[in-house]
Amino acid sequence: MTRRKLAAGNWKMNGLRTALAEIEALRDAFPDPGCDVLICPPATLLAQSALAAAGSSIRLGGQDCHVAASGAHTGDISAAMLSDSGATHVILGHSERRADHGESSALVARKTEAAWAAGLTAIICVGETEAERDAGRTLDIVTTQVIESVPDGAIALTTVVAYEPVWAIGTGRTPTNAEIEEVHTAIRGALASRFSTDVAEGIRILYGGSVKPGNAAEIFALRDVDGGLVGGASLKASDFAGIIRAAEG
Ligand SMILES: O=C[C@H](O)COP(=O)(O)O
């Protein structure tokens, strides 16, 4: 099965209104990209980002959502609010949220259901810590996270998995190509056993963790790697453009 590659940028807690110029630059540089392009700005910029990307095929995403559609949850944002602001996607279970906010895979599964209910595609993040890798537990940790974080009803249209080794995020370090392929193959296998081979073959599995313009093409060419979830190198259009080109192949 041919899966269209996805270049997804996660701006994390970065970006003031001046950063909208980066989206405008990408819009102008890629009128008809040969891959899917997604920017996940902070929630404060979502609506304006949607205006900046209007008329282009750049899609926008949130970085988290609450399990409820609305209610007394001070400081939280619902999936419906993300959608209303122009988002089509939402990143869920990023390791920074698992670490900073104690998010469990069970909670991530509930958030995924909330995202689907609002019509969003969920990008569900998994990944091992350095200690877990050193202990030889990577495949066990990652496949367990996949099984527990992806709820019943997953289909390719609404589900993306992002493999992000925690120790590779923002460090300039990446696993070897063989290590990336090993984990991505294991993730697809876990999806096949959890759902079906057909569903697993359709779901895109992104790699994230120190993806740069200089290493993106090599990583995106690996078996079962369907694009990237990019942090630091997505903040500047000039950098992210190189990653989009790598995803275009
Ligand atoms: O969501 C993105 C990842 O955490 C990767 O971040 P990074 O590209 O800055 O290493």
**pLDDT tens-digit series, residues 38-74:** 999 999 999 999 999 999 999 999 999 999 999 999 9
Please identify, by atom number, the ligand 1 atom nearest to the C-alpha of residue 95.
4
% of the chain exceeding 90 in pLDDT: 99
Query: From ligand 1's centre to the CA of 214, what distance in Å?
Result: 15
The hierarchical CATH code for the domain 6-248 is 3.20.20.70
How far is Cα 22 from Cα 170, in angstroms, rounded to an integer? Answer: 20
Name the residue at shortest CA distance from atom 8 of ligand 1. Answer: 231
Give residue 2's pLDDT.
85
What is the chain's length? Answer: 249
Name the residue at shortest CA distance from atom 2 of ligand 1. Answer: 231
**Is 130 annotated as catalytic?**
no
Give residue 219's pLDDT.
98
Give residue 4's pLDDT.
98
Domain limits, the chain: 6-248
Closest by CA to 57, choosing from 15, 21, 18, 6, is 6
pLDDT higher than threshold 90 for residue 246: yes
Pocket of ligand 1, beta carbon within 6 A: 10, 94, 164, 169-170, 208-211, 229-233
The counts of H helices and E strands in the chain are: 11, 8
Average pLDDT, the chain: 98
Please identify, by atom number, the ligand 1 atom nearest to the C-alpha of residue 211.
8
**Is 132 annotated as catalytic?**
no
Per-residue pLDDT of 96-140, as tens digits, reads 999 999 999 999 999 999 999 999 999 999 999 999 999 999 999
Task: Supply angle C-alpha 76, 78, 80, rounded to 5.
Answer: 155
Strand partners, 125: 162
Q: Report the predicted TM-score, pTM, of the whole model to 2 decimal places.
A: 0.98
Per-residue pLDDT of 149-177, as tens digits, reads 999 999 999 999 999 999 999 999 999 99
Give residue 199's pLDDT.
97
Distance linking the first and last C-alpha atoms of the chain: 16
- The token pair at 15 is 């970006």
Please identify, by atom number, the ligand 1 atom nearest to the C-alpha of residue 168.
10
H-type alpha helices, 6-104? 20-29, 46-53, 79-84, 95-100
Give residue 136's pLDDT.
98
ipTM above 0.95, yes or no: yes
pLDDT higher than threshold 80 for residue 1: no
Give residue 81's pLDDT.
98
Mean pLDDT score, 225-237 = 98
Query: From ligand 1's centre to the CA of 163, what distance in Å?
Result: 11
Mean pLDDT score, 223-235 = 98
Give residue 179's pLDDT.
98
Query: From ligand 1's centre to the CA of 12, what distance in Å?
Result: 9
Considering the candidates 94, 96, 103, 184, report the single residue annotated as catalytic: 94
